């Protein structure tokens, strides 16, 4: 049975959804399963389920699976099965279909191991297992079930996911995280591991599971990632019946992660997963400087407030000095102050320097004295968040130079520098593709110029995607439909979103720059170091990517990149 038909027969997909997906496939040529998951119609587990069904067995055997003789393996006390990293996908009457990452030396191992002599096994020819399983492969890291559970809860916290599901399929368990648009499988576990995780959760809750009876319980999770932050977790244990293993009490579990309202979600503001995770790194820095650049109305203050809410969980005192306070934060350890004529940034920082090291947000560095005191604070154990007027994150060094700041001192204290803007994406419902030729002359000429000058148009030639055929052959862009579209009211644009570049000055970056501090003023060299050592993506490059992807029109692109 083909995948689409299978999913329809299981009620996971509708006819019209399949039609849409096939249409998309005819355009982009990707695997149907990938498109189905991408579009949120089904989740990874549904696809794996399909692959494991009768029609899929062959697929696994051929591509990446092992077929292990059950009797022989039992004769050896499961030693073979557990001596290789593998999970059981299906249990047949006399064999297992196992998915494994096979290495060449396995055949050698078999030849030399007496126990394995005469062992019948069908070896796959490809080393890599199917991608969907590969990333979630339990034995790869050799971590314990407790580690797996802790990591899963932490990544749910990090991604702002409200639910974590330990779900049982016909032949394996999956750890699934609910995200905005879809359910994401983060781990696939063997039956044994999955059941052990359920038992660990039950032990955390001090709950006794009885066969066939559901149970609600709760426990307090202490996060590793958020350094000791405690989170309330409510658990629903759901009993399941199974034809196999009749004697066992089997359960699935849904973990509802409370206390998440305290972890304000950067994704809610509109940042991508990757950017949100970078911003959340603020939590692990004990001290230093976090600087945000960007014009008024770029949303940078909202980003800082989200960061302060996150930092408030550290139970350190947080003081903000603003001009004026824009949003009142209710957390008990946050004190917000307005500056006034006779109480400026300088006086406020001096007051804070007398208190225990904590976290401070200094509205803006405008003059030499404020800059000096902000640096003293960062140097004496405070984590200082502040803003500075500069064109981009890498322009701060010139700006600080004009404020007579010791640049090497500044540089040694830097954690990260951001530059933020707001932009209007095209309305997804009515945007349309047009060739360069049909653009207004102003944009047409500017686009041609940029593309003809090739990669030089960007300050750094190191971004790989610039060299892709898709970019080099580009001769059309997207613009808003401006029809009577109901989704955008005919404007052609969707809701404004933030775009942010984050220059992370980690140890590797600092080490490189200490070799030759002159690069602080060499924009393209600095960008290249940051790109290579901390994954920097400039606003320009992100805007260009959005243009290529048809997310923004040329006007927005030029606004963002000039």
Smallest gap, in angstroms, from Cβ of residue 490 to Zn ion?
7
For residues 439 and 554, the answer to whether their CB atoms sit within 8 Å is: yes
Contacts to Zn ion by CB under 5 A:
427, 429-430, 485, 487-488
Determine the Cα–Cα distance for residues 442 and 283; give it in Å rounded to an integer: 45
Closest CA to 397 of 513, 243, 481: 513
Determine the Cα–Cα distance for residues 400 and 411; give it in Å rounded to an integer: 10
Residue number with CB closer to Zn ion (273 or 487): 487
Please give the backbone phi and psi of residue 549, each rounded to the nearest 5 degrees, phi first. Answer: -80, 0
Smallest gap, in angstroms, from Cβ of residue 44 to Zn ion?
31
Residue number with CB closer to Zn ion (110 or 485): 485
Residue number with CB closer to Zn ion (33 or 425): 425
Smallest gap, in angstroms, from Cβ of residue 480 to Zn ion?
7
Q: In which element (H, E) is residue 551 found?
A: none
Write down the H helix ranges in 323-440.
345-353, 368-379, 396-402, 407-413
Enter the tokens of residue 175: 């750890």
Residue number with CB closer to Zn ion (433 or 487): 487
Please give the backbone phi and psi of residue 11, each rounded to the nearest 5 degrees, phi first. Answer: 75, 20
Smallest gap, in angstroms, from Cβ of residue 484 to Zn ion?
9
Strands, E, within 123-180: which ranges?
A: 163-168, 173-178
| Contacts with 240 (C-beta within 8 Å, 6 or more apart), sequence order | 168, 250, 251, 252
Strand partners, 500: 420
Smallest gap, in angstroms, from Cβ of residue 39 to Zn ion?
19
Smallest gap, in angstroms, from Cβ of residue 430 to Zn ion?
3
End-to-end CA distance of the chain: 53
Enter the tokens of residue 13: 């997909």
Determine the Cα–Cα distance for residues 189 and 191; give it in Å rounded to an integer: 6
Residue number with CB closer to Zn ion (4 or 554): 554
Residue number with CB closer to Zn ion (459 or 491): 491
Other Cβ atoms less than 10 A from the Cβ of 268: the count is 11
Q: Give, in order, the Cα–Cα distances in Å from 431 to each of 182, 428, 491.
A: 24, 6, 10
Smallest gap, in angstroms, from Cβ of residue 432 to Zn ion?
10
Residue number with CB closer to Zn ion (68 or 427): 427
Please state whether beta strands 183-189 and 414-423 pair in parallel, antiparallel, or not at all (unpaired). unpaired
Residue number with CB closer to Zn ion (431 or 540): 431
Smallest gap, in angstroms, from Cβ of residue 425 to Zn ion?
11
Residue number with CB closer to Zn ion (261 or 484): 484
Smallest gap, in angstroms, from Cβ of residue 10 to Zn ion?
34
For residues 256 and 161, the answer to whether their CB atoms sit within 8 Å is: no
Smallest gap, in angstroms, from Cβ of residue 330 to Zn ion?
38
Residue number with CB closer to Zn ion (56 or 481): 481
Residue number with CB closer to Zn ion (8 or 485): 485
Strand partners, 290: 385, 416
Determine the Cα–Cα distance for residues 256 and 11; give it in Å rounded to an integer: 26
Smallest gap, in angstroms, from Cβ of residue 562 to Zn ion?
26
Cα-trace Rg, the chain: 28
Please give the backbone phi and psi of residue 100, each rounded to the nearest 5 degrees, phi first. Answer: -150, 160
Q: Give, in order, the Cα–Cα distances in Å from 65 to each of 13, 33, 87, 133, 181.
A: 27, 19, 10, 11, 31
Residue number with CB closer to Zn ion (422 or 485): 485
Smallest gap, in angstroms, from Cβ of residue 412 to Zn ion?
49
Smallest gap, in angstroms, from Cβ of residue 488 to Zn ion?
3
Other Cβ atoms less than 10 A from the Cβ of 300: the count is 21
Smallest gap, in angstroms, from Cβ of residue 544 to Zn ion?
23
Question: How does DSSP assign 401-427, residue by residue?
Answer: HHTT--HHHHHHHEEEEEEEEEE-PBP
Residue number with CB closer to Zn ion (294 or 492): 492
Determine the Cα–Cα distance for residues 498 and 299; give it in Å rounded to an integer: 7
Residue number with CB closer to Zn ion (128 or 432): 432
Determine the Cα–Cα distance for residues 160 and 264; give it in Å rounded to an integer: 8
| Tokens 């613009």 found at | 479
């Amino acid at each position: 049975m083909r995948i689409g038909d299978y999913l329809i027969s299981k009620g996971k997909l509708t006819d019209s959804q399949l039609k849409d997906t096939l249409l998309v496939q005819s355009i982009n040529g990707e695997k149907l399963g990938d498109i189905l998951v991408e579009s949120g119609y089904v989740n990874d587990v549904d696809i794996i389920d399909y692959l494991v069904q009768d029609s899929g067995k062959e697929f696994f055997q051929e591509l990446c699976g092992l077929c292990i003789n059950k009797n022989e393996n039992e004769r050896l006390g499961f030693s073979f099965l557990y001596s290789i990293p593998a999970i059981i996908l299906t249990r047949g009457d006399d064999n297992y279909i196992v998915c494994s990452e096979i290495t060449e030396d396995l055949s050698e191992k078999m030849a030399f191991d007496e126990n394995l002599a005469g062992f019948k096994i069908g070896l796959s020819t490809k080393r890599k297992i199917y991608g969907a399983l590969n990333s979630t492969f339990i034995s790869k890291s050799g971590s314990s079930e407790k580690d797996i559970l802790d990591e899963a809860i932490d990544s749910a916290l990090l991604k702002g996911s409200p639910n974590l599901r330990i779900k049982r399929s016909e032949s394996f368990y999956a750890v699934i995280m609910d995200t905005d648009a879809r359910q994401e499988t983060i781990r696939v576990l063997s039956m044994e591991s999955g059941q052990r995780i359920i038992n660990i959760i039950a032990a955390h809750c001090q709950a006794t599971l009885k066969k066939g009876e559901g149970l609600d319980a709760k426990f307090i999770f202490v996060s590793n990632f958020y350094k000791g932050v405690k989170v309330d977790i409510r658990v629903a244990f759901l009993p399941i019946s199974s034809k196999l293993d009749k004697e066992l009490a089997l359960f699935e579990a849904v973990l509802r992660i409370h206390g998440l309202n305290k972890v304000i979600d950067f994704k809610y503001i509109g940042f991508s997963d990757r950017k949100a995770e970078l911003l959340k790194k603020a939590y692990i820095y004990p001290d230093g400087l976090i600087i945000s650049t960007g014009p008024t109305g770029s949303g940078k203050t909202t980003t800082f407030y989200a960061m302060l809410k996150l930092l408030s969980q550290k139970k350190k005192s947080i003081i903000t000095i603003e001009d004026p306070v824009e949003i009142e934060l209710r957390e008990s350890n946050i004190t917000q102050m307005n500056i006034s004529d006779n109480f400026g940034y300088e006086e406020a920082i001096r007051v804070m320097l007398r208190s225990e090291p904590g976290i401070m947000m200094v509205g803006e560095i405008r003059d030499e004295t404020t800059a000096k005191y902000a640096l003293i604070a960062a140097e004496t154990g405070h984590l200082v968040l502040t803003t500075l007027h500069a064109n981009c994150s890498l322009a701060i060094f010139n700006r600080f130079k004009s404020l007579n700041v010791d640049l090497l001192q500044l540089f040694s204290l830097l954690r990260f520098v951001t530059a933020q803007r707001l932009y209007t994406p095209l309305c997804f419902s009515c945007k349309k593709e047009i060739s360069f030729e049909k653009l207004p002359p102003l944009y047409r000429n500017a686009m041609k110029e940029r593309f003809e000058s090739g990669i030089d148009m960007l300050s750094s030639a190191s971004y790989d995607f610039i060299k892709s055929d898709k970019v080099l052959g580009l001769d059309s862009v997207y613009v808003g439909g401006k029809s009577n579209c109901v989704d955008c009211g005919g404007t052609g644009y969707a809701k404004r979103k933030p775009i942010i570049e984050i220059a992370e000055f980690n140890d590797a970056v600092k080490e490189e720059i200490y070799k030759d501090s002159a690069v602080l003023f060499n924009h393209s060299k600095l960008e290249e170091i940051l790109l290579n050592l901390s994954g920097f993506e400039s606003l320009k490059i992100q805007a260009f990517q959005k243009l290529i992807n048809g997310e923004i029109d040329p006007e927005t692109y030029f606004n963002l990149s000039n």
